[in-house]
Structure 1
């Protein structure tokens, strides 16, 4: 048995021990699919964060946390008599071979091959319709991008990014028109349209809206922290400063970042 196979088998056995109804861990024993699912999402984000920070020393640990989620779900499914870890590994292996006939078969690589394969699989699962099979659990911005991309494949799309940007302006105008109404449901609906159209604009620009927002979050955090630190050198805190002073500090930080005298 290879080192990888031994390590995976060890993980499977550890998970089985943790779930053992007699000698296992009380916390692990009481978990179910619904309670564990959020951890899978959290661990996937931690993997992405580690990669974004290029912390290669930490990456194996974070990937292990993500792999544990697979082992956890597979163990609960095995207890229910549905499938086991081997089934999961076999199915993804079969899928990769099926979707890469140009590598594992004699067929030449052709445009749209991957998406065509996914469409055939959706039909096999009786998931009919252009938008079928896009997971509800995806982050909303990412799902919006995927929805608009799927619609675009059948021609429901703007011709250029500029046209989408114009649509963003239109949606913002509609949002502004509702702001004075006090109707939270209508305001939320219009704001949702703005966000959906922004996700579509990101797709049209070949950008990931989640990545764009993560970058904006990081930039805001960096600049806000710098403003706070600048005040601290003056013996002051943010609550001591007026909004105008904080804005001036913000602009000063931006000038420093851009190396503007």
Structure 2
């Protein structure tokens, strides 16, 4: 195998794994569709490594490894396509390079945009032209169904906003959230079927993701952060309960809530003593 070029070596390894006679049975059995779940998993693991990156040697090694795992998924897909005579990894790299150059004329062609809005408009025009070339009639046609729900919601909202279907600011979005929450309460009070309640809850989440978009916040990342924060607090709750010789699941909710507030204060570096409401 070639040792001088790491990418060449990786491609040769992939070809060997897929070899009909001497390759790996599992790798040979895979299709473009069957490895998609693995690709998504690797992407999430990379996102997690980035979120937990502390800049130290261990984090650097983990980040590098996760990037390699995701790169392998690209090489895997390209190899499957190459075997079918469709395209290879060079075509993939050439295509993305051409697209980046085309979408950055201010960097590669000396074009000057008046402001960020003009640059963004040109970017979106190029993407719209690409969608049209692929035969997509609607702005919603090529939004991946496999995207996480919050990310997909924001993407659909951005597409609609490009056509002018959007509020000018975040104020009306907040009103919409309250409206949708009231509809959930009505559905629950009227005892409608669970599917109808789920639909109303979905409307609330869609409105909240729209609010986040107007505020310039990525709701997917924000929710991941809040979930990590809750996880850290819950782990601290478990430790606090164990230090007192108790099992967290054996405590009542009020006792659990007191531990949660202690955990929250500790992790924020605040005093472990509860605030005096009379102070």
TM-score range, shorter chain: over 0.9
TM-score, scaled relative to structure 2: 0.88
C-alpha deviations, 1:55-108, integer Å up to 9, x for none? 223222111101100010011111112111111111111111111112221322
CA positional deviation for 1:230: 0.6
C-alpha deviations, 1:170-219, integer Å up to 9, x for none? 11111111124240111111111111111101100000001110111011
**Structure 2 unpaired stretches of 5+:** 54-58, 274-279
What does residue 174 of structure 2 align with? 165
Q: State how 1:196-207 maps to structure 2 within 5 Å.
A: 196-207=206-217
Cα distance between partner residues in 2 of 1:206 and 1:142: 13
CA positional deviation for 1:163: 1.6
Alignment CA distance shift 1:89-1:215 (3 Å): same
Tell me which moved more, 65-74 or 150-159.
Answer: 150-159
- The answer to whether the aligner puts 1:98 opposite 2:108 as a matched pair is no
CA positional deviation for 1:129: 2.1
Q: Secondary structure at the match of 1:34?
A: coil
Report if aligned partners of 1:50, 1:56 keep a CA contact under 8 Å in 2.
no
Cα distance between partner residues in 1 of 2:236 and 2:23: 48
Higher relative contact order (CA closer than 8 Å, sequence separation 6+): 1
TM-score, scaled relative to structure 1: 0.93
What does residue 276 of structure 2 align with? none
- What is the count of residue pairs matched by the alignment? 259
What does residue 233 of structure 2 align with? 223
- The structure 2 residue matched to 1:150, chosen from 131, 156, 159, is 159
What does residue 39 of structure 1 align with? 38
**Structure 1 unpaired stretches of 5+:** none
Q: Secondary structure at the match of 1:35?
A: coil
Cα distance between partner residues in 1 of 2:108 and 2:171: 41
Cα distance between partner residues in 2 of 1:165 and 1:212: 18
Query: After the TM superposition, which parts of structure 1 deviate over 4 Å for at least 4 consecutive aligned residues?
Result: none
C-alpha deviations, 1:30-75, integer Å up to 9, x for none? 1111210011111111112111112223222111101100010011
What does residue 47 of structure 2 align with? 48
Q: Secondary structure at the match of 1:58?
A: helix
Tell me which moved more, 168-177 or 111-120.
Answer: 111-120
